[in-house]
Amino acid sequence: MIKEYSVYINFITNKINDFFERQKPYIFCKKGCSLCCENGEYPWSFIEYQYLMEGYKKLDCETKEKITSEIKRIKEEKAKFKGERFVHKCPFLIDKVCSVYEHRGIICRSFGLLYKSEKTEKIQVPFCYEIGLNYSNAYDKEKRILSAEMCEKQGFKVQPKCYNVSYNFLTDDTFAKGFGFEFGEKKPLIDWFEI
């Protein structure tokens, strides 16, 4: 099933990369910016976990030890957590770089684009807009809307566009079956590890 998933992930990554390219005036993602990897829950399906571990196996011993130590620390922290939503730094992020980039999850590939919330039907702007990153040059913070006026003032020819890149949509088993695999159970990334 990993082979079939690899075909799917290549297909979907090409689509997502095209969406990022089309939204280039609004995207400020760059190497070294790891905010999206430092504060999340990271939903992960079973097939994504298997694929991730394929990448993990290729790492050197020192990097594996760092990751294992971080997973243990996060799991201990989560065990003590009493709140509603436990967020943390991804254990595979080392010195602001993803150690398993080619084997990263779907949420990692699509984060940063506008998408429509499945619950509220409202357009969701990536949280990094708040610090002047993605869509900050098109999102009116006071009105809490994407502003055509802001885009026009900057001379943008392409308007911000919302793509259907929500995690639930991209991990729907309807897609998986077309590629010959199943996503399987989904849960936060940290919960896949037994340490």
Q: What is the pLDDT of residue 31?
A: 78
CA–CA separation, 124 vs 146, rounded Å?
10
CA–CA separation, 180 vs 47, rounded Å?
12
CA–CA separation, 98 vs 104, rounded Å?
8
CA–CA separation, 124 vs 192, rounded Å?
27
> CB neighbours (10 Å) of residue 67?
20
Mean pLDDT in runs of 10 for the chain (195 residues)? 95 96 92 87 97 97 97 96 93 95 96 86 88 92 89 88 91 93 96 90
Q: What is the pLDDT of residue 33?
A: 86
Closest of 96, 125, 126, 107 to residue 16, by C-alpha: 107
Residue 105: burial class (beta carbons within 10 Å; 0-12, 13-18, 19+): buried
Closest of 66, 86, 70 to residue 78, by C-alpha: 86
Q: What's the Cα-to-Cα distance from 15 to each of 98, 109, 118, rounded to whole Å?
A: 21, 10, 20
Q: What is the pLDDT of residue 159?
A: 87
End-to-end, the C-alpha distance of the chain in Å comes to 26
Q: What is the pLDDT of residue 121?
A: 81
- HSE (side-chain half, CA atoms, 13 Å) at 185: 6
The whole model's pTM is what? Answer: 0.91
